[in-house]
Amino acid sequence: MLSADFIKQQASALGFQACGIARATALPKDEFPLQEWLAAGFYADMDYMQRHADKRQDPRLLVDGARSIISLLLAYKPDRRMEGPHRIAQYAYGEDYHERLKRMLYQLMESVAGRYPDFSARAFVDTAPISDRHWAQRAGLGWLGKNTLLIHPQWGSYCYIGELVTTAEFDHYDTPMSDRCGDCRRCVDACPNHAIVSRGGENPFQVDARRCTSYNTIENRSETLPSQLDTRGYVFGCDICQLACPYNEQVPASIPLTNDRKAELEQLPQADETAFRRFTKHSPLNRIRYPQWRRNLKH
């Protein structure tokens, strides 16, 4: 049995802002209403969300013998934002978070194995059928806001999430954090496309990707964007519901946006395809191709 405190100490030493541990079990449908969301058509054309739905609901089907899930947060709020008519979601200002978090997760695995040689785990960063937000909530790292994003009491929703799914057991596990949004609807009301939909029941709010600027500017592969889509100048992702959140207003900056990087981001709309591909190679912006980028700029 492993020490949960030791894992958290090692995670903090590596630079993670938060670490929590939950038992690996199936997520009940009232906690993770995946089938309800799919049935409503809210996944748009993200057909991959329908694949391996059983694994999304139960990580023990993803990793044989899984007993625990270690969730980790890395804050990314920059100390300032882009200026100008075109905007990029703040999470994409810097290095590709998939690459950065994977490095850190592997370092954590090595550190843990130094004390527990039999430690075995698989690292995931938004690249497998596992619901990062729900497991982070289970691990006591925050609650799910009405915009369905994880909200940490100190770092808000400006956090990358990664996890280690392991066969190890721990001496204690964390308690899920209760909802602290109360009656606040600022994120719901702020969305210009009304993408945060109220459906009533135990999971009253879900995001309809078909209306979401983030989905349309990244995942949507059509030649044109929906004519009625109000992007408010966002050409990759969207921060509107996050900017409206009272918790995010008080979140301290964790990443400096240098003058050079800020200038590069603001000049990117004028870049040709070669320059765009060079700039985005190790950036979250590599999620889209140049024709999509030009489409978004023209909308």
Please give the positions annotated as active site. Answer: 126
Structure tokens of 291? 């024709």
User: Alpha-carbon torsion 231, 233, 237, 242, what sign?
Assistant: negative
Q: What are phi and psi of 211, to 5 degrees?
A: -100, -10
**CA torsion sign, 267 to 269 to 275 to 277?**
positive
